[in-house]
């Protein structure tokens, strides 16, 4: 199966969802642990924008005591998220977590959070949607509330680069993934290729492509400021900390 770059958000990840946790769970879960302290400190609410299959959501819920809102428009990713959140016996996360089946731009949660988290989403958004996202985040955060997001790619790749997503054994099958990134019309085209093999024989192949927009931290800082959000510093080398100012930014003309 091969999915192109023009897929609408609700239908995106139709191919990648199947392989997402198999190939990413270990590293993304470890990466998300850096947010556990911020989640534990939240006193009003947490909003995770682009929750995907819930690898980060799980860390936010486990570390916190406040309501958690997980926003996920893609049906395939959301079905994995819901399966993950449905509590196994004895776990009470279901009391606190709400899943929003929509784009972040359709969300209305004014000042219901002191923590927002948005990982591996921002570079996928066209500039006008990205700017609308900052306004939405400024609206949902209380004054002084924090947003954590990952550092966007700063530039286009000079030449195509290929990276392995690793290999997972499941029974007699092996699941492999790789991503090839190349510059295309001022954006970074990422072709994800998946391969399932049984005893050395290829059972099936699948592919899905995404377009990322590079952005310097300086440009990001200016854009955030226009929405009343201040880029403060780094939580880790690749996660940035942003704070909502006390005064609201003026509404765009
Ligand atoms: C690469 S995945 C990252 C998922 C999760 N944050 C993680 O780190 O594992 C990006 C997610 O953002 C979601 N997404 C795309 N556009 C969105 C939008 N406008 N609002 C909210 N989520 C969106 C996608 O459906 C996808 O599940």
Sheet with 2-3, side-by-side order of all strands: 2-3, 201-212, 187-198, 173-184, 161-170
The pLDDT of residue 41 is 98
Q: If you average pLDDT over residues 100-127, what whole number do you get?
A: 96
Residues in CB range of 138: below 8 A, 6 or more apart = 227, 228, 229, 244, 248, 249
121 Cβ closer than 6 Å to some ligand 1 atom: yes
Say what the pLDDT of residue 252 is. Answer: 64
Q: How far is the CA of 249 from the centre of ligand 1 (A)?
A: 26
Q: So what's the pLDDT on residue 8? A: 76
Pocket of ligand 1 contains residue 54 by CB under 6 Å: no
Mean per-residue pLDDT, 25-36: 92
pLDDT tens for each residue of 145-180: 999 999 999 999 999 999 999 999 999 999 999 999
Which pLDDT belongs to residue 11? 82
Nearest protein CA to atom 18 of ligand 1, as residue: 103
Q: What is the pLDDT of residue 205?
A: 98
- Dump strand ranges (E) for 96-200: 97-100, 113-118, 141-150, 161-170, 173-184, 187-198
Q: What is the pLDDT of residue 43?
A: 98
Task: Give the C-alpha separation, 206 to 97, whole Å.
Answer: 33
Residue 106's SS3 state is: helix
- Report yes or no: 208 and 192 within 8 Å, Cβ to Cβ: yes
Q: Which of 84-93, 132-141, 227-236 is the most confident on average? A: 132-141
Q: Please state the atom number of ligand 1 nearest to the C-alpha of residue 103.
A: 20
pLDDT, one tens digit per residue, over 227-240 is: 999 999 888 889 99
- Domain 161-212's class? mainly beta
Closest CA to 57 of 91, 82, 76, 22: 82
Crossing angle of helices 55-63/75-85, nearest 10°?
A: 30
Find all residues with CB under 8 Å of 159, minimum gap 6, and list them: 182
The distance between the two most distant Cα atoms of the chain, rounded to a whole number of Å, is: 62
Lowest mean pLDDT among 91-95, 179-183, 228-232: 91-95
- Please, what is the average pLDDT of the chain? 92
pLDDT band at 191; cut points 50, 70, 90: very high
Mutate to test the pocket of ligand 1, among 16, 52, 128 (most ligand atoms within 8 A of CB): 52
Q: Which atom of ligand 1 is nearest to the CA of 74?
A: 25
pLDDT at position 235 is: 81
Q: How far is the CA of 223 from the centre of ligand 1 (A)?
A: 20
Going by alpha carbons, the residue nearest to atom 16 of ligand 1 is 9
Task: Give residue-wise pLDDT tens across range 98-107.
Answer: 999 999 999 9
| 2-18 average pLDDT score | 78
| Rounded distance from Cα 54 to ligand 1 centre (Å) | 10
Superfamily of domain 8-152+216-244: Vaccinia Virus protein VP39 (3.40.50.150)
Q: Residue 95: pLDDT band by 50, 70, 90 thresholds?
A: confident
Ranges of each domain in the chain: 8-152+216-244, 161-212
């Amino acid at each position: 199966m091969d999915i192109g770059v023009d897929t609408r958000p609700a239908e995106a990840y139709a191919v990648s969802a199947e392989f997402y946790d198999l190939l990413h769970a270990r590293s993304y879960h470890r990466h998300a642990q850096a947010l556990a302290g911020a989640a534990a400190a939240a006193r009003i609410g947490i909003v995770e924008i682009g929750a995907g299959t819930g690898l980060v959501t799980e860390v936010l819920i486990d570390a916190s005591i406040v309501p958690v809102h997980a926003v996920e428009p893609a049906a395939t990713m959301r079905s994995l998220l819901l399966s993950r959140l449905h509590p196994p016996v004895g776990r009470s996360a279901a009391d606190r977590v709400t899943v929003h089946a929509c784009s972040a731009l359709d969300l209305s949660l004014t000042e219901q959070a002191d923590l927002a988290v948005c990982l591996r989403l921002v570079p996928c958004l066209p500039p006008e949607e990205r700017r609308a996202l900052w306004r939405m985040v400024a609206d949902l955060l209380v004054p002084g509330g924090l947003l954590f997001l990952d550092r966007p790619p700063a530039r286009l790749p000079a030449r195509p680069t290929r990276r392995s997503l690793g290999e997972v054994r499941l029974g007699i099958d092996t699941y492999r993934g790789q991503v090839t990134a190349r510059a295309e019309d001022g954006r970074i085209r990422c072709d994800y290729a998946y391969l399932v093999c049984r005893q050395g024989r290829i059972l099936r192949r699948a592919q899905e492509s995404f377009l990322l927009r590079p952005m310097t931290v300086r440009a990001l800082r200016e854009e955030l400021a226009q929405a009343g959000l201040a880029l403060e510093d780094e939580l880790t080398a690749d996660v940035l900390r942003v704070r909502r100012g006390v005064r609201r930014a003026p509404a765009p003309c």
